[in-house]
């Protein structure tokens, strides 16, 4: 808890408007907690009191809730939570468009730093620009989900390597890499550089270039897949000729079956929350074994819930692949996404994940997959039966 009174004029802190008892003093609102002046003051013009209701102040004096109407508006603001919107979107989209929705519950505090430089503490939580609600950006969800997918790939490769099956591990890497790039897209500078390099090697003698391709491949893996895959798949390869041939087939896009530079099929929508709390990290001196300078973080507290929405659209396959090919890819990608979501919930999202922050759970009974009525044949191919599949017409 902060000990001194801090006053900030002309700031932008709508969230703290009616949390505490307050009194007017020279056009500054001084907030009181348990009838003691302890915290801070803000310009009265900066507040919009209609958004908030008072809550009981107990052991966590900075926790507050929004009014019931605003909580309803938060749910509406969670983009595609409204089922009516999904009912309009999915049936009218291209074949094998899939919407995934699940209610998530935070198992630990969530923090992602906002860009506001003038704030009561140094670590405000990320908020939506207009309505000032704590949120998880869609881009952050997509990035965290991609990291979880990479972890899934690493674990699958490790299963093969534990049985000394290098060729199977290489096949696993190829299979999952194609899924990864279809879902999340590909096109960063490292991939473009490596893909261009491999394409130049197609018409050159393999024996003269295999070492160069392998070295470039290891460099690419280190930058994008991490040290484990770079070591096991790239550096420890027992058959360089087989590795090089596989890389040319995968990255040079021979016979239109390899990797293409493209946007991903997955769209992730933001998640909004209705509560804010404070957490403190207190670094200790090695000499005195006592706290030195407490660091305050604005967080969404554990236990908060809302809807996570993902949309999968195979836009890139409509004009150059058959319906059966698109169906096969959609089933593979959907099962991969479900596994990656479970891993994502364990790994967490946001800052301070090493402290366990950002972890959440997918609430059982609230996992739903919406598909077009004409695509019902994929229902029997979903491996995780916890997800309810709902055809829409």
- For the segment 285-294, what is each residue's pLDDT rounded down to a tens digit? 788 877 778 8
Comparison of pLDDT for 33 and 257, the residue scoring more: 257
- DSSP SS3 for 126: coil
Q: H helices of the chain, where?
A: 68-77, 83-89, 138-162, 166-184, 189-200, 206-224, 227-229, 240-251, 323-347
Q: Do 306 and 272 meet the contact criterion of CB atoms below 8 Å apart?
A: yes
Place of tokens 């959440």: 360
Q: In this structure, what token pair is assigned to residue 383?
A: 């491996």
Place of tokens 């709508």: 14
Indicate if the pLDDT at residue 4 is higher than 50.
Answer: no
Indicate if the pLDDT at residue 141 is higher than 70.
Answer: yes
Residues 6+ apart with CB under 8 A from 300: 106, 109, 110, 111, 125, 134, 273, 275, 276, 277
Query: What proportion of the chain, given as a percentage, has pLDDT over 90?
Result: 26
Report the phi/psi class of residue 13: left, alpha or beta, with left for phi > 0 and alpha for psi in -120 to 50.
Answer: beta
Mean pLDDT of 39-64: 38
Query: What proportion of the chain, given as a percentage, has pLDDT over 70?
Result: 76
d(CA 11, CA 204): 64
- DSSP SS3 for 186: strand
Residue 191 pLDDT grade (very low, low, confident, very high; cuts 50, 70, 90): confident
Q: Do 119 and 11 meet the contact criterion of CB atoms below 8 Å apart?
A: yes
Q: Average pLDDT, whole number, for the chain? A: 76
pLDDT confidence of residue 275 = 86
Q: Where are the domains of the chain?
A: 6-53, 79-138+265-392, 146-263
Q: Do 39 and 6 meet the contact criterion of CB atoms below 8 Å apart?
A: yes
pLDDT confidence of residue 3 = 33
d(CA 188, CA 173): 19
The model's pTM: 0.76
Comparison of pLDDT for 360 and 294, the residue scoring more: 360
d(CA 51, CA 70): 7
Q: In this structure, what token pair is assigned to residue 177?
A: 């890499």
pLDDT confidence of residue 75 = 54
Residue 164 pLDDT grade (very low, low, confident, very high; cuts 50, 70, 90): confident
Q: Do 126 and 139 meet the contact criterion of CB atoms below 8 Å apart?
A: no
Residue 60 pLDDT grade (very low, low, confident, very high; cuts 50, 70, 90): very low
Q: Which of 34, 91, 102 is CA-nearest to residue 268?
A: 102
- DSSP SS3 for 49: helix
Mean pLDDT highest for which of 48-62, 64-78, 99-113?
99-113
pLDDT confidence of residue 342 = 94
Comparison of pLDDT for 116 and 11, the residue scoring more: 116
pLDDT in tens, 16-49: 333 333 444 433 333 333 332 333 333 333 333 3
Indicate if the pLDDT at residue 295 is higher than 90.
Answer: no
pLDDT confidence of residue 341 = 95
pLDDT confidence of residue 35 = 30
């Amino acid at each position: 808890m902060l000990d001194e009174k801090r006053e900030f004029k002309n700031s932008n802190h709508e969230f703290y408007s009616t949390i505490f008892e307050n009194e007017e003093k020279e056009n500054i609102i001084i907030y009181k907690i348990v009838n003691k002046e302890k915290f801070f003051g803000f310009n009265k013009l900066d507040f919009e009191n209609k958004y908030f209701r008072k809550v009981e102040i107990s052991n966590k004096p900075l926790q507050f809730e929004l009014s019931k109407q605003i909580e309803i508006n938060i749910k509406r603001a969670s983009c595609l939570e409204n089922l009516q919107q999904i009912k309009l979107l999915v049936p009218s989209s291209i074949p094998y468009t899939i919407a995934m929705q699940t209610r998530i519950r935070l198992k630990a505090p969530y923090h992602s730093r906002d860009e506001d430089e003038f704030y009561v503490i140094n670590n405000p939580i990320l908020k939506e620009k207009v309505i000032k609600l704590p949120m998880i950006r869609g881009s952050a969800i997509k990035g965290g989900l991609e990291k979880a997918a990479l972890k899934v790939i690493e674990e699958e490769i490790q299963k093969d390597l534990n049985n000394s099956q290098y060729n199977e591990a290489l096949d696993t890497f190829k299979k999952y890499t194609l899924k990864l790039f279809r879902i999340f897209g590909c096109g960063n500078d490292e991939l473009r550089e490596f893909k261009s390099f491999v394409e130049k090697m197609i018409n050159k003698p393999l024996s003269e270039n295999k070492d160069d391709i392998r070295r470039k491949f290891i460099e690419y893996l280190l930058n994008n897949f991490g040290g484990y895959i770079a070591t096991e798949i790239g550096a420890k390869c027992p058959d360089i000729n087989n590795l090089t041939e596989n890389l040319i087939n995968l990255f040079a896009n021979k016979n239109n079956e390899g990797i293409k530079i493209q946007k991903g099929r997955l769209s992730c929508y933001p998640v909004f929350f209705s509560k804010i709390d404070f957490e403190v990290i207190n670094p200790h001196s090695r000499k005195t074994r006592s706290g030195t300078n407490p660091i305050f973080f604005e967080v969404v507290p554990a236990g908060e819930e809302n809807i996570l929405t993902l949309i999968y659209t195979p836009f890139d396959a409509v004009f150059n692949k058959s319906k059966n090919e698109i169906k096969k890819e959609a089933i593979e990608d959907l099962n991969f996404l479900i596994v990656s979501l479970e891993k994502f919930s364990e790994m967490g999202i946001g800052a301070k994940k090493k402290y366990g922050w950002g972890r959440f759970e997918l609430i059982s009974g609230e996992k739903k997959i919406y598909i077009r009525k004409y695509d019902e044949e994929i229902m029997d191919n979903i491996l995780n039966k916890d997800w309810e599949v709902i055809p829409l017409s």
